[in-house]
Amino acid sequence: MGMKQRALEGKWNGGAVLGYKSVEIEGSNHRKRTETHLELVENEAAVVKMIFEKYAGGQGFKSITNELNHQGYKTKTGGL
């Protein structure tokens, strides 16, 4: 219920997303949970844009994944 309400309010529910970082909102410690917002990470956002363009151009997800792996790109957590 809480996550649904946060989503309805346009708030972030958490988790790591390629292209963004979660940043604490100053002065938001009034609840059990610290409030955050997403902030763009330019170099990661460029990779997301490249993935989108390849997919929109008809390239499949496995093909895109293989290409990114061969080029040395990593996930947010450092995996392939």
Q: Write down the pLDDT at residue 37.
A: 81
Those residues with Cβ within 8 angstroms of residue 44's Cβ, 6 or more apart along the chain or in another chain: 18, 19, 20, 76
Give the integer Cα–Cα distance in Å for 72 and 31.
41
Q: Write down the pLDDT at residue 58.
A: 98
Q: What average pLDDT does the segment 39-51 reach?
A: 95
Q: How far, rounded to the nearest angstrom, does the alpha carbon of residue 31 sit from its chain's CA centroid? A: 25
Least confident residue range of 3-7, 18-22, 23-27, 53-57: 23-27
* Alpha carbon separation from 15 to 12, 57, 59 (Å, rounded): 9, 28, 27
pLDDT surpassing 90 at residue 76: no
pLDDT surpassing 90 at residue 24: no
Q: Write down the pLDDT at residue 45.
A: 95
Closest C-alpha to 44, from 17, 13, 23, 64:
17
Q: What average pLDDT does the segment 38-52 reach?
A: 94
